[in-house]
């Protein structure tokens, strides 16, 4: 039996039970997630639940002076009503649970993506999706995010520190959108994932 994890962080978490797990990072379809032109506002996508920290993304956007567009399914209505809806405004908007083409358009037309996990993300698909859209990422250095985000495509700050995240917004926006897309193609595309799994299968079957 052979175990594989979707990130080094996940492998480390299970090391006391599975000491020899390999790592193949998740991949996304970079043909479906195409680069966009960027824009002025920030974007926050993904499930709206407490552990994803949408309220911290709002705090960071407010402190940075940038607008924020929020997208994703409301999976915790109580959290949304208590921590998100009261802070919606002309500049902080909820765009709904969008179909993939519309979400791609939203992310690609944003200046930067804000990712604020309040738990240890095993991977972080929203990061990969943003990069594929050419949108650099600023977020919390938690879980697997430091494995995906490089200085060329994003900025990471101490988990939970919305003030530090706000200060990271403008440096993130100044990064190359081409470099963000390149990171998605080389590190978190389906092609990259497939090549890694092929190597893994050849190794374990030898």
Strands of the 154-157 sheet, one edge to the other? 92-96, 68-71, 42-45, 112-115, 137-140, 154-157
Q: Does residue 169 lie within any of the structural domains?
A: yes
Boundaries of domain holding 56: 29-197
Q: How confident is the model at residue 158 (pLDDT cuts 50, 70, 90)?
A: very high
% of the chain with per-residue pLDDT over 90? 95
Q: Does residue 147 lie within any of the structural domains?
A: yes
CA distances for 194 relative to 11, 35, 102, 206, angstroms: 19, 22, 26, 18
Write out pLDDT tens, residues 1-45: 889 999 999 999 999 998 889 999 999 999 999 999 999 999 999
Residue 2 is predicted with a pLDDT of 86
Q: Does residue 74 lie within any of the structural domains?
A: yes
Q: Does residue 146 lie within any of the structural domains?
A: yes
CATH number, domain containing residue 56: 3.40.50.2000
Q: Does residue 10 lie within any of the structural domains?
A: no
Residue whose entry in the numeric block shows the structure tokens 């650099």: 136
CB of 129 closer than 8 Å to CB of 189: no
Q: Does residue 8 lie within any of the structural domains?
A: no
Please state the domain count of the chain: 1
Q: Does residue 5 lie within any of the structural domains?
A: no
How far is Cα 91 from Cα 182, in angstroms, rounded to an integer? 30
How far is Cα 91 from Cα 14, in angstroms, rounded to an integer? 42
| Dihedral (Cα; 75, 79, 124, 6), 10-degree rounding | -70
Q: Does residue 142 lie within any of the structural domains?
A: yes
């Amino acid at each position: 039996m052979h175990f594989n994890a979707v990130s080094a962080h996940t492998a480390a978490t299970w090391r006391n039970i599975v000491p020899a797990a390999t790592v193949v990072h998740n991949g996304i379809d970079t043909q479906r997630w195409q680069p966009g032109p960027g824009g002025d506002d920030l974007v926050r996508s993904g499930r709206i639940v407490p552990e994803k920290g949408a309220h911290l993304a709002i705090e960071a956007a407010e402190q940075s002076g940038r607008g924020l567009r929020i997208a994703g399914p409301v999976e915790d209505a109580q959290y949304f009503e208590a921590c998100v809806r009261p802070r919606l405004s002309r500049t902080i908007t909820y765009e709904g649970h969008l179909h993939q083409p519309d979400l791609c358009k939203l992310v690609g037309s944003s200046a930067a993506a804000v990712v604020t996990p309040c738990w240890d993300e095993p991977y972080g698909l929203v990061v990969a999706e943003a990069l594929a859209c050419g949108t650099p990422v600023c977020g919390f250095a938690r879980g697997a995010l430091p494995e995906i985000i490089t200085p060329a495509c994003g900025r990471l700050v101490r988990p939970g520190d919305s003030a530090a995240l706000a200060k990271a917004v403008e440096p993130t926006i100044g990064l190359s959108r081409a470099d963000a897309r390149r990171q998605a193609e080389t590190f978190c595309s389906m092609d990259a994932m497939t090549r890694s799994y092929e190597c893994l299968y050849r190794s374990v079957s030898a």
